[in-house]
Structure 1
Amino acid sequence: MPYITTSDGTQIYYTDLGEGQPVILSHGWPLSSDAWQVELKLLADNGYRAIAHDRRGHGRSSQPWNGNDMDTYARDLAELVDQLDLRDIILIGHSTGGGEVVRYAAQHGAGRVSKIVTAGAVPPIMVKSDTNPDGTPIEAFDGIRAGVLADRSQFYQDLSAAFFGANREGSKVSQGARDDFWRQGMLVGLKAAYDCVKAFSETDFTEDLKALDVPIFIAQGDDDQIVPIADAAEKSIKLVRNGTLKVYPGAPHGIYGEYQAELDKDILEFIAS
């Protein structure tokens, strides 16, 4: 299996399929690059070099004690890009991965990044504060941390319902998809899972979004129960210079089913334009 080793000795696993312009996909919490299996094949089939990595602490990557923060995640991505010598990159990030690719592009990606796609992404900032009064109260994230510590297996099973909208009338999400969410979640080291909650909820990406000088396609479902759209995509689009926002009616946080099919079609159209 392919790995790169970062400057602090962390091994980062990645999948690398196809040939052509590189597309890097960054996954959400508590998942791994397996979350992008459909998109990896789709992109490779359409003439792109599709690359997806497991964030440190997640999936098949190392589980170091330190570095479970957004600055380090972005630096790990920068080291992956450097070691593979990638240029003219298209970045795609879901949820926490949306924050990772935005920070990477703003702080490390000058001259290398050509386009960005985010879906259900955490920027600009999730947690409620005096400067972000519409955000999600810290108690919600404390609850996630408590659930991870108390019984992460059951917590991930329960969380999959809101993640995919299985708790909504008429939901068509399969038990298999929910089981795979649990499977990927159980690969995350407990320390990484716990620390990453702070990383995705309290990191402020406002200046990163303002700094982006490449086209960005911002996608989000309007029934996202994990990352509320009013405090995410609808704010992010106002901060970027060259952005396109698409809202998917009734779509949840998890990329699945009709939402996945439509989003994937839109991604292919955007990156080819």
Structure 2
Amino acid sequence: MSKIKVNDGTEIYYKDWGRGQPIVFSHGWPLSADDWDSQMMFFLNHGYRVIAHDRRGHGRSSQTSDGHDMDHYADDLAALTTHLDLKDAIHVGHSTGGGEVAHYIARHGESRVAKAVLISAVPPLMVKTPDNPGGLPKEVFDDFQAQVATNRAQFYWDVPAGPFYGYNRPGAKASQGVIQNWWRQGMMGGAKAHYDGVVAFSQTDFTEDLKKISVPTLVMHGDDDQIVPYANSGPLSAKLVKGAVLKTYEGFPHGMPTTNADQINADLLEFIKS
């Protein structure tokens, strides 16, 4: 397996396929690089070099006990792009991965970055605060942590079987394979990393990060996202990133890169080629 060792000794697993302009994919919580299978195969077949890593504590990367915060996530991504000497890269982040992409660009600059895409992403800020009244109450995320600490196996079934892919909506046709694959990815990772990661994705304020992004940016969000509610995320991020384009998907769920891969891939390709 391909891995790099970062400054604190953590090993980060990654996939690196093909040649051409690189597209780097950052996955959501609590998943792995495997969540990008549909996108990686699509863009590989369109002549791109596709790269995806398992965030620290997730998938096949080291199950470290600490470092599960956005600074470390961004630094690990920077270490990978430096190791692979990526240039003119397109960075695509889903959910927590969207926060990782925004923080990486703000923290490490745009010298290696051509474009950015935030899909169903957690920025600007998920948790409710006096300055962010549209956010979700902290108790929601406290419950996430409690479930991870005490009931992870069942929780990691209930999330994809319900709100993540919109399978709890009337008339929805749930894919057992998709649910099981989400569960598999989640259970590969470390409970401690996932527990701490809840704070990282919910309490990090990405407002200033978004303001620092100047590369062409596409914000993609479904208006039926039950994990990262649309109104307090996609539109606000698009306003904060100078020149960003917001693409709203009527009725699409949080996990739309999987459930609606054909549409998402086509729109990604159009943006990348533009």
Equivalent residues in 2 for 1:106-121 (5 A)?
106-121=106-121
Alpha carbon RMSD of aligned pairs, Å?
0.9
User: Structure 1 residues 200, 21: closer, same or farther in 2, change over 3 A?
Assistant: same
Aligned mates of 1:204, 1:139 — CA distance in 2: 18
Q: Deviations over 1:246-265 (max 9, x none)?
A: 11110000135662211110
Q: Are 2:89 and 1:76 equivalent residues in the alignment?
A: no
1:17 aligns with 2:17: yes
2-side partners of 1:71 and 1:123: how far apart? 15
State the distance in 2 between where 1:13 and 1:26 align. Answer: 12
Give the TM-score, by structure 1 length: 0.98
Distance of 2:31 and 2:174 partners within structure 1: 17
Q: Which residue number in structure 1 is paired with residue 231 of structure 2?
A: 230
Find the aligned partners of 2:121 and 2:264 in 1 and give their Cα distance: 14
DSSP-derived class of the 1:42 partner: helix
Q: Is the 8 A contact 2:148 2:195 kept in 1?
A: yes
Secondary structure at the aligned position of 1:114 is classed as: strand
Hey, what's the Cα distance between the residues in 2 that align with 1:91 and 1:141? 27
Quickly say closer, same or farther: Cα 1:64–1:38, change in 2 above 3 A: same
Q: Deviations over 1:34-68 (max 9, x none)?
A: 00011111111111110000000000000111100
Query: What amino acid does structure 1 have at the position aligned with 2:180?
Result: D
Aligned to 2:31: 31
Contact 1:124 1:209 in 2 (8 A): yes
1:44 is aligned to 44
Letter in 1 for 2:204: T
Deviates more, 1:116-125 or 1:255-264: 255-264
Quote the Cα distance in structure 1 between the aligned partners of 2:59 and 2:257: 20
Residue number in structure 2 paired with 1:104:
104
SS at match of 2:260: helix
Match for residue 264 of structure 2?
263
Residues 147-166 of structure 1: matches in 2 within 5 Å?
147-160=147-160, 161-166=162-167
Report the residue type matching 2:194 in the other structure: A
Q: Is the 8 A contact 2:166 2:172 kept in 1?
A: yes
Counterparts in 2 of 1:163-174, with a 5 A limit? 163-174=164-175
Aligned positions of 1:196-207 closer than 5 A? 196-207=197-208
Gaps of 5+ in 1: none
Specify the alignment match of 1:143 in structure 2: 143
State the distance in 2 between where 1:136 and 1:150 align: 22
> In the aligned structure 2, how far is the partner of 1:40 from the partner of 1:256?
11
Distance apart, 1:171 and its partner CA: 1.1
> Residue 209 of structure 1 corresponds to which residue in structure 2?
210
CA deviation vs aligned residue, 1:88-109 (integer Å, no higher than 9, x gap) = 0100000000000111111113
Q: How big is the shift at 1:110?
A: 2.3
Cα deviations by residue, 1:172-206 (Å, 9 ceiling, x for unpaired): 23111011111111011010010000000000100
Tell me which residue corresponds to 1:195. Answer: 196
- The amino acid of 1:141's aligned partner reads F
- Secondary structure, aligned partner of 2:164: helix
Q: How many residues align?
A: 273
SS at match of 1:142: helix
Whole-Å separation in 1 of the counterparts to 2:109 and 2:31: 24
> C-alpha offsets along residues 219-259 of structure 1, whole Å, 9 cap, x if unaligned?
01100000001110011111110200011110000135662
Distance 2:187 2:23 in 1: 27
Residue 163 of structure 1: SS of its match in structure 2? coil
TM-score by length of 2: 0.98
